[in-house]
Amino acid sequence: MPPLGLGVDLGGTNARAAVVDTDTGEIVAAHKEPLRDRSPPRVVEVVSHALREAASAAGVDLAGVRSVGVGVAGQCLGATGVVLNAPNLAWRDVPFGEMLRTAIGVPVRLANDLSVAAWGEKRFGAAKGIDDVVLVFVGSGVGSGLILGGRLHDGAQGVAGEFGHVKVRPSRPDTRPRRCGCGMTGCLEAYTSGMNVAARVREEVAAGAPTSIATLAGGDLSRVSASLVDDAYRGGDPYARALWEEVGELLGTAIANLVTILNPARLILGGGVLLGCPALAAIVQARFDAAVSISATTGLSVERAWLGDDAGVIGAAVLD
Amino acid sequence: MPPLGLGVDLGGTNARAAVVDTDTGEIVAAHKEPLRDRSPPRVVEVVSHALREAASAAGVDLAGVRSVGVGVAGQCLGATGVVLNAPNLAWRDVPFGEMLRTAIGVPVRLANDLSVAAWGEKRFGAAKGIDDVVLVFVGSGVGSGLILGGRLHDGAQGVAGEFGHVKVRPSRPDTRPRRCGCGMTGCLEAYTSGMNVAARVREEVAAGAPTSIATLAGGDLSRVSASLVDDAYRGGDPYARALWEEVGELLGTAIANLVTILNPARLILGGGVLLGCPALAAIVQARFDAAVSISATTGLSVERAWLGDDAGVIGAAVLD
């Protein structure tokens, strides 16, 4: 039997547990459950159940496992297992690590979902064998995972990599300051995440902004997405063009600053906004090239994430 | 005899070598020489001589030393010992590590001066015993040194920590884009270093900006400095006020972003602009507080650098 690890990916809508071959990163068995009730005790039950199902499918005795890794879409104090803030779960200061440990009788190691994904990519994916890796994710949220000197850098409190919450200043002086889900204004995420872009377009269309996006959405503003903005941009829509120039500059410059500071050997890009919007991606690339410190790009390679939605459970299963 | 290490601090005007007690960080002997001629072969001679003088004063046989550490005010490829770019020495792509090794017959370990200073502070100064440390320096230049997970993080190529070259956007739309010594525009250093602030004030005073700074400088614009701007600010000078608000916001926000990304346990502030300009420091602090991700400040403490001008030789002497 190969060496096996157990990992959990805890998002806002589902919990997914997997048994992973820790030599190859292959998923041996997995079990996914929806989170209907997000109260911490109920989520502990759901995660415990998913772990038991996955373990049983793989023929593993959960009680005999050395530890379980969990990637959480939120800020985690890695050392204590406390989830400080997980907006998608509406959690604040939840001692989830300890609660889950009590429920399953096995030590639990918690980390942010993007830290875990970066670790998965480093072990088995787009950064295999590379010691200095920055993963940038722009999807419904914005964040990063940092592998520095061959190790997961999750910081003194476990909240490193909060790339979505660096403060930025848009180039157009008429852009209103936007409030972020974290409660602050000026966060990169507030201007560039898929959810926030869609919300902004809806607001601005409702206020009369001239754009083809509403038509592309079939008149149903709830269908507005970053992907539709990208379609509109490629169709020559001036509103989409101005919006993408702003979003692309903010993202390209912020990613460049991250590379200038950290000098990674590999930059991994993930998330539906970065990977699913080709027009935006081209602007991000151009703005990155214009802003990054040249010396930090010597030996830098850029890759798309390989592991996709599996990065979380795989990385969690091999958390040290 | 205590365990001894040899370190060199190579700036733009002087080379200083020291023999350091690697248990306590105490300087046992030191020798400083001015760099009259900055050609690499001449600098190798000066550094070799300084090392021999310091070693001899401490009763150490230089040939018997395991390695010598050198902190260089510039970008260094740590692995190869090449100085990529040292504006103060007017060097580009100088294989200084190899040249010095040949001259002294001892392996040489090169790193950026602020990386070395951060390492010195971590070993013996303001961050002793702390594993996640960010040192931010704002003096004639702007830069940072990063200790992450207990180790010096100098990146894949040895150029991590180039904090002075993150790109920023000033809040006043009438501020002209400023070119940095590195050749790019929009670098934090171009707006906030002591040298660049002084140059900007001189330009703007020459162009008729109404300010008391010229009077404070006794009419001699060559005496303009960040410290004089701070004096003017505290005297109620509106020009100095607007300038410091802009510089303070840029610095405070950029430092906050660094902390948000890296989640250090200790932030060390150094350099004449940060430590010698109390009015500016108060603005930086306020802007930092307004911009930093709250979760990254849990357990964060801020200290002034302890080792001052000795941080370089001390850190270099104990480079791993």
A171 and B167: CB-CB below 8 Å?
no
pLDDT of residue A281: 98
The shortest CB-CB distance from B157 to any of A162, A258, A263 is to A263
Within 8 A of A146 by CB-CB distance, chain B residues are 261
Token pair, residue A30, equals 């997995």
> Is residue A167 over pLDDT 80?
yes
Nearest Cα of chain A lies from the Cα of B74 at a distance, in angstroms, of 11
Nearest-by-CA chain A residue for B149: A153
Model pTM?
A: 0.95
ipTM value greater than 0.90: yes
Each residue's pLDDT expressed in tens, for chain B with a length of 320 residues: 779 999 999 988 899 999 999 999 999 999 999 999 999 999 999 999 999 999 999 999 998 898 899 999 988 987 789 999 888 899 999 999 999 999 999 999 999 999 999 999 999 999 999 999 999 999 989 999 999 999 999 999 889 999 999 999 998 888 888 999 888 999 999 999 999 999 999 999 999 999 999 999 999 999 999 999 999 999 999 999 999 999 999 999 999 999 999 999 999 999 999 999 999 999 999 999 999 999 899 889 999 999 998 999 999 999 97
Give me the helices (H) in chain B, please: 40-58, 96-104, 113-124, 188-192, 194-206, 213-216, 226-234, 238-262, 272-276, 278-291, 311-317
* Residue in the block written with tokens 């964040």: A143
Dihedral over alpha carbons A98, A103, A107, A109 (to 10 degrees): -60
Token match 């404070």: residue? B216
Contact assignment for A162 to B263 by CB distance below 8 Å: yes
Using an 8 Å Cβ cutoff, are B5 and B27 in contact? no
Quote the tokens at residue A135: 């993963």
Taking only the tens place, the pLDDT of each residue in B92-135 is 999 999 999 999 999 999 999 999 999 999 999 999 999 999 99
Indicate the SS3 state at residue B219.
coil
Task: Say if residues A10 and A32 touch (Cβ distance below 8 Å).
Answer: no
Closest chain B residue by Cα to residue A169: B169
Instruction: Compare CB distances from B159 to A77, A156, A295 and report the shortest one's residue.
Output: A295
Taking an 8 Å cut-off on Cβ atoms, the answer to whether A148 and B144 are in contact is no
Q: What DSSP line would sit under A29-77, residue for residue? A: EEEEEE-S--SHHHHHHHHHHHHHHHHHHHT--GGG-S-EEEEESSEEE
Among A263, A266, A288, A301, the residue to mutate for chain B (most B Cβ within 10 A): A263
Find the CB nearest A262 among B155, B167, B257.
Answer: B155
User: What's the CA gap between B256 and B71, in Å, rounded?
Assistant: 26
How far apart, in whole angstroms, are the C-alpha atoms of residue B273 and residue B223? 15
